[in-house]
C-alpha cells in the first residue's frame, strides 16, 4: 500500500514589493511592513556562487535591526559569481510573498478554539540587469505556522441555546 502525497491548497497572505540598494530596502507595497525601513544582509559563500540573505524590518522605530525584527532568512541556489556580486554591490527590486495553507489543525473546545495553518514564504530579488534570483527559505522560515482563533472566544459569545445544561434521566 502506498500513500498519496497530500497536495495543499494555498491562499495569498501578503505580497510585499520594494526597492533595495546598498543593503537597505523599503517595501512600497504590502500591508504589514509598508514604508518601514529595512536591512538586507547578504553574504556570499566561499566559492562565491551562493549567497545567504537575511531581511530585517525596523518594526519598533528605534533604527536598530535585532533578531526580533527578522522577517526572512534564506539561501540562493548556485548562481554565476557576477550575479551574486550584483546582489551584494548594486540595487534592484525585492518581492516577498507569503501564502497560507487552507487546511489546518484545530483544537475544538466549546469556546477558545485555535487553528494552526502552514505558511510558506518566497523571496525574489531582481538585479538592475534584470536577472531574477529566487531565495529558498531556511531555518524557522522553512516550516512556519500561523495561529488563528476560530469560533466564539469567550462564554459571552456563545449561543444561549448551547449554555443550557443537558438533562440526564433519573438513575434511581
Over the stretch 102-160, which tens digit does the pLDDT of each residue have?
Answer: 777 887 776 778 888 888 888 898 888 888 889 999 988 888 888 888 777 777 766 66
Q: With b meaning 16 or more CB within 10 Å and e meaning fewer, what string describes 128-137?
A: eeeeebebeb
Q: Residue 172 — pLDDT band, cuts 50, 70, 90?
A: very low
Predicted pLDDT at 50: 87
Over range 36-51, report the average pLDDT: 85
Out of 31-35, 64-68, 162-166, pick the least confident: 162-166
More confident residue, 47 or 6: 47
Classified as helix, coil or strand, 84 is helix
Alpha-carbon distance of 32 to 27, in angstroms, equals 10
Tell me the percentage of the chain whose pLDDT exceeds 90: 5
Q: Is the whole-model pTM more than 0.75?
A: no
Of 125, 137, 52, the residue nearest 91 (C-alpha): 125
Contact present, 105 and 116 (Cβ < 8 Å)? yes
DSSP secondary-structure letter at 86?
H
Strand partners, 114: 149
Predicted pLDDT at 167: 47
Asked whether the predicted pLDDT for residue 171 surpasses 60, the reply is no
Q: Residue 81 — pLDDT band, cuts 50, 70, 90?
A: confident
CB atoms within 10 A of CB 13: 17
More confident residue, 105 or 2: 105
Tell me the percentage of the chain whose pLDDT exceeds 70: 85
Asked whether the predicted pLDDT for residue 83 surpasses 50, the reply is yes
Asked whether the predicted pLDDT for residue 36 surpasses 80, the reply is yes
Mean of all residue pLDDT scores within the chain: 80
Contact present, 96 and 16 (Cβ < 8 Å)? yes
Which residue has cell 497572505? 13
Amino acid at each position: 500500500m502506498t500513500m498519496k502525497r497530500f497536495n495543499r491548497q494555498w491562499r495569498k497572505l501578503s505580497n510585499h514589493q520594494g526597492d533595495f540598494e546598498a543593503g537597505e530596502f523599503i517595501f512600497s507595497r504590502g500591508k504589514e511592513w509598508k514604508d518601514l525601513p529595512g536591512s538586507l544582509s547578504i553574504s556570499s559563500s566561499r566559492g562565491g556562487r551562493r549567497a545567504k540573505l537575511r531581511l530585517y524590518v525596523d518594526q519598533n522605530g528605534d533604527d536598530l535591526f535585532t533578531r526580533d525584527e527578522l522577517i526572512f532568512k534564506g539561501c540562493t541556489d548556485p548562481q554565476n559569481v557576477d550575479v551574486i556580486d550584483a546582489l551584494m554591490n548594486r540595487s534592484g527590486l525585492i518581492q516577498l510573498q507569503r501564502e497560507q495553507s487552507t487546511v489546518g489543525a484545530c483544537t475544538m473546545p466549546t469556546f477558545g478554539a485555535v487553528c494552526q495553518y502552514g505558511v510558506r514564504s518566497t523571496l525574489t530579488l531582481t538585479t538592475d540587469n534584470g536577472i531574477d534570483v529566487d531565495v529558498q527559505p531556511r531555518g524557522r522560515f522553512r516550516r512556519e505556522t500561523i495561529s488563528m482563533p476560530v469560533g466564539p472566544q469567550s462564554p459571552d459569545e456563545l449561543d444561549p441555546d448551547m449554555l443550557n445544561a443537558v438533562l440526564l434521566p433519573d438513575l434511581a
